[in-house]
Amino acid sequence: MKKLSARRRHPLAALVVLLFALAATGGLYTALAPAGEAKAEASDSSLAIEEGKKLYAVGCSSCHGMGGQGGSDGPSLVGVGAAAVDFQVSTGRMPMQAKGPQAPKKPKAYTPEETAQLAAYIASLGPGPAIPESSAYNPADGDSAKGGELFRTNCAQCHNFTGQGGALTHGKYAPNLHDVEPRHIYQAMLTGPQAMPSFPDSTLTPEQKRDIIAWLDAVNTSESPNPGGFSLGGFGPVSEGLYAWTFGIGVLIAAAVWIAAHTAKARKS
């Protein structure tokens, strides 16, 4: 105890306390947040819709219109479904910060509970795809080989072979799918956010969507193997060529310089 009080006045003490406090807050938050979500699910749905409507009026209506009918700055949200809201809001794409070719992924602005309320409100405007059950997108249940074929037919043209992303016209792009949550991949296929076309269950069945998620899980997560070594971003010949032009020839020229350099002479210069 004495030791502690002696060090209380240490210049770094405040920092340590601050760090503890931050860690505690974070821990408390992570402990409580899922509980809040569960509560939202349990609570009366009409209450959620009411809450969602309020949130919507404040955060979304300036672009999408008071009743979700759309406006000059944002599309109509009638019939987009809860899945679209969950995708856009929980990946931070909505609300948009500034006008641009495309709304980028960013830290989310709403808590899971608020997101659920917003989703409930939008879902009440018209029938649309609901938030999928977690069993629908569990990569362990999918067939990665079939998923790979489907990915190359439907997705790779924009997202690249392993979902590293690719450019579209005029600054738009298909984002990198590295470590994207399976739920969001599923919702994106279902709803077709922004420039992306949708892949409704009538053309790409739920099992096939899960196969695609299994493929991405096999090739584009932090845990996916790259047997050959460092993957250079997975962009193929461009990054490989760049590497050969810089590091590859660089080390060989360094070796050449060493071979041809004059050995140190005995004199003092």
Partner 1 sequence: MSTATDAPKSAPSRGGKAPAGERVADWADGRVGVYSLAKANMRKIFPDHWSFLLGEICLYAFIIIILTGVYLTLFFVPSMAELEYSGSYVPMQGVLMSEAYASTLDISFDVRGGLLMREIHHWAALIFVVAIFFHMMRVFFTGAFRKPREINWLFGFLLLVLAMFTGLTGYSLPDDLLSGTGVRFMEGAVLAVPVVGTWLQMFLFGGEFPGYDIIPRFFVVHVLLLPGLMVGLIVAHLILIVYHKHTHYAGPGRTNSNVVGMPLFPVYMAKAGGFFFLVFGLIAMIAATTSINPIWVLGPYRPDQVSTNAQPDWYMGFSEGLVRLMPAWEIVLFNSYTLNLGLLIPLMVLPVVLGAIALYPFFENWVTKDKREHHISERPRNAPTRTAFGVAWLSWYFIALVAGGNDVWAINFDLSINAITWFGRVGFFVVPVVVFIITRRICIGLQRRDRDKVLHGRETGIIKRLPHGEFVEVHEPLSQAKLHALTAHDQYQPAELPASTDANGVQRKVGLLEKARVRISRGYFGEGGQVAKPTAEEYREITSGDGHH
Partner 2 sequence: MSSETGSSKDVSEEHLPTAQEHGTVTVADDPFADPGLPAHEPRIQDIDEKAAKRSERTVTLLFVLSSLATVGFIVSFLLIPIDKIVYIWPFGHVSGLNFALGWTLGLALFCIGAGAVHWSRTLMSDEEVPDERHQIAASPEVKAEVLAEFRAGTEESGIGFGRRKMMRNSLLGALALVPLSGVVLLRDLGPAPGDKLRHTAWDAGKRIVNENTGLPLRPEDITVGSLTQAMPEGLDLHDHDFHAQIAKAAVMLVRLEPDDIKDEQSAEWGHEGILCFSKICTHIGCPATLYERQTHHALCPCHQSTFDLADGARVLFGPAGHPLPQLRITTNDDGELVALGDFAEPPGPSFWERG
Stretch that binds partner 1, among 32-40, 48-56, 115-123, 162-170 (CB under 8 A): 162-170
Residues within window 200-259 making contact with partner 2, judged by CB under 8 A = 200, 202-205, 208, 223-231, 255, 258-259
**Minimum gap (Å) between residue 162 Cβ and partner 2:** 13
Of 30 and 269, nearer to partner 1 (C-beta) is 269
40 binds, among partner 2, partner 1, none (CB under 5 to 8 A by kind): none
User: Could you tell me the two tokens for 196?
Assistant: 């992306």
Please name the residue that has the structure tokens 């405040």: 14
Contact partner at residue 253 from partner 2, partner 1, none, CB < 5 to 8 Å by partner kind:
partner 1
- Report if residue 196 touches partner 2, rule: CB under 8 A: yes
Other CB atoms within a 10 A radius of the CB of residue 242 amount to 14
Residue 267 engages partner 2 in binding (rule: CB under 8 A) = yes
Out of 61, 76, 144, 198, the residue judged to bind partner 2 by CB under 8 A: 198
Q: How far is the CB of 206 from partner 1 (least distance, A)?
A: 20
- 99 near partner 2, judged by CB under 8 A: no
Number of residues that bind partner 1 (CB under 8 A): 62
C-alpha torsion sign, points 56, 60, 62, 65 = negative
Is residue 79 classed exposed, middle or buried when 0-12, 13-18 and 19+ CB atoms within 10 A define those classes? middle
Cis peptide before 227 (omega within 30 of 0): no
Q: Least distance to partner 1 from the beta carbon of 140, Å?
A: 13
Task: Note every long-range contact of 177-181, with CB atoms under 8 Å and residues 24 or more positions apart, other chains counting.
Answer: 177/216, 177/220, 178/220, 178/221, 178/222, 179/220, 179/221, 179/222, 180/216
